[in-house]
A and B are shown apart, each in its own frame.
Chain A
Amino acid sequence: MKPKVAFFDFAGCEGDQLQIANLEEDLLALLDQVEVVSFREVMKEHSDNYDIAFIEGSCTRLQDEDRLKQIRKNAKIVVAIGSCATIGGINSLRNYRELDDVKKIVYGDSAKLFDAYTARPIDAVITVDAYVHGCPIDKEEFLNVVKSLLLGKKPDIPTYPVCVECKKNENVCAFERGQFCVGPVTRAGCNSCCINEETICWGCRGLVDNPNENSQKEVLIKYGLTVDDAISKFRLYFGWQERRK
């Protein structure tokens, strides 16, 4: 029997589910291996009987915790997909400001009418078995994680920083170009895709397990950058991870 899979989304842009749709012909091949029983964005049918749950988006309010816990109960394996789900992602950018201020900026006098709490990744609420990092996720990496799970293996996620891949790709270092890049402390696995496009690493895959902070400091000193520059860039995606440290 094919394993049953389901897709769910919380606070996010649904760009990761779009990446899955973007698998195009590969998606048809994947559908030969699994049975999709719930995927609100593309299908009307829904079942609570599934083996693997893929979850996109952050948990940003108390009322969503019940839904997450129910998914955890139903699924044998829970996979967080995309930065919002794996590390809190861009949503956690608002965690640096007082929640009341955040609400007031967007909703003015109606602020008190809105539910919200500190934006957090899925594993702040339920146990997560596997992660597909990135904003958005990489299609190939998603397929690799799914393949590993179907074979009963633990997916292989890099524990080294983006710089390793970037060097291999022979890119000119973003710092040499006078820009600030968080590649030195960001988890690899993206093949340094943004620097390959001649921009910077923004940190969407989250902090690497043991970030070498001293080496990051050396980089700052070497290029005449301040700790404030670093903190500011770290805030884009590392909001939840930094807070927990």
Chain B
Amino acid sequence: MKNRNLNLEVHHVTRVEGHGNIYVNVRDGTVEKCEWAIPEAPRFFEAMVVGRQYSELHHITSRICGICSIGHTLASLKATEAVMGIKISEQDLKLRKLALHAENLQSHMLHLGFLVLPDLLGVGSVIPLASSNPKEVKTVLRLHRKANEMSNLLCGRTTHPQRLMPGGFSKIPSIKELTSLRQKLKDSVPDLQAVAELFKSLSPKLPDFTRETEFIALTSPDEYALYDGKIGSTDTGTAPTSEYLSFANEYIVPISTAKRAKHARESYMVGALARFNLNYDKLSPLAKKTAEMFDLKPVCHNPFMNNIAQLIEVVHSLEDSIKLINELEAAGLKSQPDYNKPEIKVKAGGGVGAVEVPRGILFHDYTYNDKGYCTKANCIIPTNQNHGNIELDMKALLPKILDKPEKEIELNLEMLVRAYDPCISCSTHCIKVHFV
């Protein structure tokens, strides 16, 4: 493609959360520019929380992101609880894990069904699919609705949870509500199978592209790590979460506009595929079967397969939720006082909370004074950690697809960005640098 000239500017890539731009310039077959830039407005959360009391931080930082608000709330609570030395009960731990599964289910279904499926079916959005593929759309909606009902039950509502608080929950569901949820989850298996088969039939449309990279995710010997674990890397092994700063080395790129992160290589990837690659052994039986359907094995270096890893995680979250409810039922759900207000002794110091949210590993790091007011905060968001990897993937993918028509190149690059399921609003606490 020696004669290929291309000038591509995709402003505000659609069907992703937040605003991102793609800039490509090819002259005489040589890639002169291939950039992933972020024009989102900054939000300054780390400054907003300074001076606020420990009981409010999870409420404020939940607002970093509407889609992963449960994950932000949990990372926030874990950081606060680490500082104050608060231990939550086994029961609350299980309920929090269920809340995290609910968000994973909701977010992954939204991404797969609303944002990815249109690309695979060759349309611009899910809206025309409502009339062309009503059966598939209704199946996706049913699963999405059930995930939201689950968030409602655990957190009080779907977006920006109300019941989660330092030390536990303000209110918990009854065992009857939980077992009825379990039945709904069980009843969802055929729908999930239908979605898996749909994606199986469409998976040849996912580009066959590979670029070796490092994957980072929480990992645990006990379970498929989501709520807790050590930081794991496919390159360097594991480390405690308190060492997160040596993993997520944030840096600023001149010309390109976003802060990024790197560890052992130029970039790394977080999210469902990273978790799959690091924790495959711990997936639930049905999730493993789903992986076999797609012949997906760790370590997979095709970023487009992040979509399939999300699908596998949906199956895992569903199965693991059933297991958690079984355990809660077997132990007997202990009631808690009306207007539960856990006893908390305020302590000064610093603490880190790390949680796997739909788009990858999330860190909240707070310092409190002896009155329980926040003096310093740092939040490292999954999408920020992925920005560098997205651009390097784009640079590797572009030369391979230069012989395609412009529209198709554009679509492939957009599909690549979408595969990461970027959450740009989230990442704007450290974005928008103008270098003049």
B127 contacts A43, CB within 8 Å? yes
- Sorting the interface of chain A by its residue count into under 10, 10 to 19, 20 to 34 or 35 or more gives 35 or more
A202 contacts B59, CB within 8 Å? yes
Given known A28-B130, A197-B171, contact A106–B429 (CB-CB < 8 A): yes
B69 contacts A15, CB within 8 Å? yes
Report if B285 contacts A (CB, 8 A): no
Question: Which residues of chain A come closer than 8 Å to B138, judged between CB atoms?
Answer: 25
Within 8 A of B (CB), among A80-114: 89-91, 93-94, 97, 101-103, 105-107, 110, 113-114
Q: How far is the CA of A116 from the CA of B56 in the complex (A)?
A: 25
Question: Which residues of chain A come closer than 8 Å to B434, judged between CB atoms?
Answer: 113, 115
Report if A14 contacts B (CB, 8 A): yes
A15 contacts B42, CB within 8 Å? no
Question: Which residues of chain A come closer than 8 Å to B17, judged between CB atoms?
Answer: 14, 41
Rounded to whole Å, the gap between the CB of B436 and the closest CB of chain A is 9
Report if A236 contacts B (CB, 8 A): yes
- Chain B, residues 329-370, CB within 8 Å of chain A (1/0): the string is 000000000111100000000000000000000000000000
Q: At the interface with chain B, which of A16-24, A150-158, A208-216, A218-226? A: A16-24
B145 contacts A24, CB within 8 Å? yes
Question: Which residues of chain A come closer than 8 Å to B66, judged between CB atoms?
Answer: 12-19, 136
Select one of A42, A102, A232 contacting B126, CB under 8 A: A42
Question: Which residues of chain B come closer than 8 Å to A9, judged between CB atoms?
Answer: 425
Given known A42-B115, A116-B42, A236-B56, contact A13–B163 (CB-CB < 8 A): no
Q: At the interface with chain A, which of B154-162, B196-204, B206-214? A: B154-162
Residue of A nearest to B68 (CB): A13
Given known A13-B66, A90-B60, contact A44–B14 (CB-CB < 8 A): yes
Given known A11-B41, A94-B48, A106-B46, contact A25–B124 (CB-CB < 8 A): no
Select one of B48, B65, B429 contacting A93, CB under 8 A: B48
Given known A21-B110, A60-B41, A199-B162, contact A106–B47 (CB-CB < 8 A): yes
Report if B252 contacts A (CB, 8 A): yes
- Chain A, residues 171-215, CB within 8 Å of chain B (1/0): the string is 010000111000000000000011001110010000000000000
Residue of A nearest to B137 (CB): A28
Report if B299 contacts A (CB, 8 A): no
Report if B125 contacts A (CB, 8 A): yes
Q: How far is the CA of A31 from the CA of B165 in the complex (A)?
A: 37
- Chain B, residues 128-152, CB within 8 Å of chain A (1/0): the string is 0010000001100100110010000
A177 contacts B339, CB within 8 Å? yes
Given known A198-B338, A199-B163, contact A42–B425 (CB-CB < 8 A): no
Q: How far is the CA of A93 from the CA of B64 in the complex (A)?
A: 13
Select one of B14, B137, B430 contacting A43, CB under 8 A: B14
Rounded to whole Å, the gap between the CB of A22 and the closest CB of chain B is 6
Rounded to whole Å, the gap between the CB of A229 and the closest CB of chain B is 10
Report if B94 contacts A (CB, 8 A): no
Question: Which residues of chain A come closer than 8 Å to B126, judged between CB atoms?
Answer: 42-43
Question: Which residues of chain B come closer than 8 Å to A44, judged between CB atoms?
Answer: 14-15, 118, 124-125
Tell which of A15, A101, A114 has the most Cβ of chain B within 10 Å: A15
Report if B303 contacts A (CB, 8 A): no
Q: How far is the CA of A243 from the CA of B138 in the complex (A)?
A: 47
Total residues of chain B contacting the partner, CB 8 A: 65
Report if A55 contacts B (CB, 8 A): no
Tell which of A14, A19, A135 has the most Cβ of chain B within 10 Å: A14
Question: Which residues of chain A come closer than 8 Å to B148, judged between CB atoms?
Answer: 22, 24
Q: How far is the CA of A45 from the CA of B15 in the complex (A)?
A: 10
Residue of B nearest to A196 (CB): B156
- Chain B, residues 229-263, CB within 8 Å of chain A (1/0): the string is 00000000000000000000000100000000000
Rounded to whole Å, the gap between the CB of A49 and the closest CB of chain B is 16
B125 contacts A43, CB within 8 Å? yes
- Chain B, residues 39-57, CB within 8 Å of chain A (1/0): the string is 0011111111010010010
Rounded to whole Å, the gap between the CB of A95 and the closest CB of chain B is 10
Rounded to whole Å, the gap between the CB of A37 and the closest CB of chain B is 10
Rounded to whole Å, the gap between the CB of B361 and the closest CB of chain A is 19
Rounded to whole Å, the gap between the CB of B95 and the closest CB of chain A is 14
Report if B278 contacts A (CB, 8 A): no
Report if B432 contacts A (CB, 8 A): yes
Tell which of B114, B160, B425 has the most Cβ of chain A within 10 Å: B160
B252 contacts A110, CB within 8 Å? yes
Given known A43-B124, A110-B433, contact A13–B63 (CB-CB < 8 A): yes
B43 contacts A114, CB within 8 Å? no
Select one of B15, B46, B252 contacting A41, CB under 8 A: B15
Select one of B59, B114, B159, B435 contacting A42, CB under 8 A: B114
Report if B18 contacts A (CB, 8 A): yes
Select one of A14, A45, A114, A178 contacting B124, CB under 8 A: A45
Q: How far is the CA of A49 from the CA of B163 in the complex (A)?
A: 42
Q: How far is the CA of A106 from the CA of B50 in the complex (A)?
A: 11
Report if B314 contacts A (CB, 8 A): no
Residue of A nearest to B124 (CB): A44
Report if A167 contacts B (CB, 8 A): no
A12 contacts B340, CB within 8 Å? no
Q: How far is the CA of A94 from the CA of B51 in the complex (A)?
A: 11
Report if B328 contacts A (CB, 8 A): no
A93 contacts B60, CB within 8 Å? yes
B12 contacts A40, CB within 8 Å? yes
Interface residues of B (CB under 8 A from A): 12, 14-19, 41-48, 50, 53, 56, 59-60, 63-67, 69, 110, 114-115, 118, 124-127, 130, 137-138, 141, 144-145, 148, 156-160, 162-163, 165, 170-171, 252, 338-341, 425-426, 428-430, 432-435
Contacts A/B (CB < 8 Å), 5 sampled:
A105-B50, A114-B433, A197-B157, A197-B170, A232-B53
